[in-house]
Amino acid sequence: MLEVKDLHSGYGDAIVVRGASLEVRPGEIVALLGRNGMGKTTFIRSIMGLTPPQVRSGTITWRSDSLIGLRPHDIANRKIAIVPQGRRLFPSLTVTEHLTMLKSARAKDGWTLDRIFGIFPRLAERRYHRGGQLSGGERGMLAVGRALMIDPELILMDEPSEGLAPVMVQHLESIILDLRKEGLSVLLVEQNLYSALAVADRVYIMETGQIVHHGTSQEMNEQTDVLFQRLGVH
Ligand SMILES: Nc1ncnc2c1ncn2[C@@H]1O[C@H](COP(=O)(O)OP(=O)(O)OP(=O)(O)O)[C@@H](O)[C@H]1O
Ligand SMILES: [Mg+2]
C-alpha cells in the first residue's frame, strides 16, 4: 500500500504541494482530480522520486518503507511505474526499443512484448517506428506499455487519456479495469471526470496543492455538483 502523509513539495521557494495526504490500497484504483496547475504532476513526480520538484516534508511510504530520497530507478525496482505527463519518449528509439529497454524482448515472465502488442495491436503495427514518428494516441499507448514492462504493482498514470480519441479512452479504461483484476493498484491523474468516475474506486480532489475533498466514486457520483464546482466543469 502507498501512503502519502502531509506532503510538501515544490520548486525553489515555491511550495506547490502543501500538506497533501492520500493512500492507495492494494488492488485499488484511485483518481486524483484537479484543475490545471493545482499540483497533480508535482505530487506524482514527488512519489516517483523525480526532480524537480524537491520534497520538503511529509512522508511517502510504500509497503512500510519510506520512498523519500530514493532515486526513480530504486523506486521502479520496488515495482512502482509511471506514465508521465507528456509521455517522455525518446524520438530516435523505436517502439520495440522503448518496450525492451528494461527487459529483454525474449523475457517470458510477467509482461512481455507479445502481451503488450496483444493489448495494443496498433503498437505491434508500428513496432519499427521511432518515438518521434508516433501520433499522440500511439505515444500514449507506448507510455502505458513501457510502464507495464517493469511488472509494476502500482502504476502512477499522469493523464494517460490526454490526446486519445474517445474509443481509445474506453479501451484504456478497460485495460485499467483488467489490471485491477490482476491485483495491480493505480493512481490515476485525470482531467476527464467521467473517465475517472468510470474506473476509480475512490477519488481525491486537489486544489492549490491540498486535498480538499475525497470519497468513493459512488459518493462522488451522488454529489456531482460539488465536483463540477471544484473542477470548474460546466
Ligand atoms: N519545473 C517547474 N518549475 C517551477 N514551477 C513549476 C514547475 N513545474 C510546475 N510548476 C508550477 O507548479 C504548479 C503546479 O504544476 P503541476 O504541473 O503540478 O500542476 P498539474 O495539476 O499537474 O496541472 P495540469 O493539469 O495542467 O497538468 C504550477 O503553478 C506550475 O507552474
Ligand atoms: Mg499535470
CATH code of 73's domain: 3.40.50.300
148 SS3 class:
helix
Asked if residue 118 belongs to a domain, the reply is: no
Asked if residue 90 belongs to a domain, the reply is: no
182 exposed, middle or buried (CB, 10 Å; 0-12, 13-18, 19+)? exposed
Rounded CA gap, 60 and 66, in Å?
6
Asked if residue 77 belongs to a domain, the reply is: yes
Asked if residue 209 belongs to a domain, the reply is: yes
Atom of ligand 1 nearest to the CA of 35: 25
pLDDT of residue 157: 97
Cβ atoms of 35 and 231 closer than 8 Å = yes
Rounded CA gap, 47 and 55, in Å?
9
pLDDT of residue 146: 95
**Most confident stretch, 13-27, 154-168, 186-200, 209-223:** 13-27
In this structure, which residue's CA is closest to atom 2 in ligand 1? 11
Asked if residue 112 belongs to a domain, the reply is: no
pLDDT of residue 234: 59
pLDDT of residue 233: 73
Asked if residue 45 belongs to a domain, the reply is: yes
What is the CA 85 to chain-centroid distance, rounded? 8
Atom of ligand 1 nearest to the CA of 42: 18
Lowest mean pLDDT among 54-63, 72-81, 103-112, 143-152: 103-112
User: Please, which residues have CB less than 5 A from ligand 2, an ion?
Assistant: 40-41, 85
pLDDT of residue 23: 98
| Mean local confidence (pLDDT), 152-178 | 92
In this structure, which residue's CA is closest to atom 28 in ligand 1? 37
pLDDT of residue 223: 85
Q: Is the CB of 34 under 6 A from ligand 1?
A: yes
Burial profile 126-148: b = 16 or more Cβ within 10 angstroms, e = fewer: beebbbeebeebbbbbbbbbbbb
Asked if residue 188 belongs to a domain, the reply is: yes
| Mean local confidence (pLDDT), 8-20 | 97
Asked if residue 117 belongs to a domain, the reply is: no
pLDDT in tens, 147-164: 999 999 999 999 998 888
* 92 CB neighbour count, 10 Å cutoff: 10
Strand pairing report for 54-62 and 65-66: antiparallel
For the four alpha carbons of 77, 78, 81 and 82, in that order, the dihedral sign comes to: negative
Average pLDDT, the chain: 93
pLDDT of residue 61: 98
Q: Is the pLDDT of residue 60 over 90?
A: yes
Torsion of CA 193, 199, 205, 210, to 10 degrees: -140
Q: Which domain does 156 fall in, by range? A: 2-85+150-231
Q: Give 77's pLDDT tier (boundaries 50, 70, 90).
A: very high
Q: Give 228's pLDDT tier (boundaries 50, 70, 90).
A: confident
How much distance in Å is there from the Cα of 229 to the middle of ligand 1? 21
* 206 CB neighbour count, 10 Å cutoff: 25
Pocket test for ligand 1, best of 9, 36, 42, 233 (most atoms within 8 A of CB): 42
Rounded CA gap, 164 and 141, in Å?
9
pLDDT in tens, 104-131: 777 778 899 999 999 999 999 999 999 9
* Overall number of domains in the chain: 1
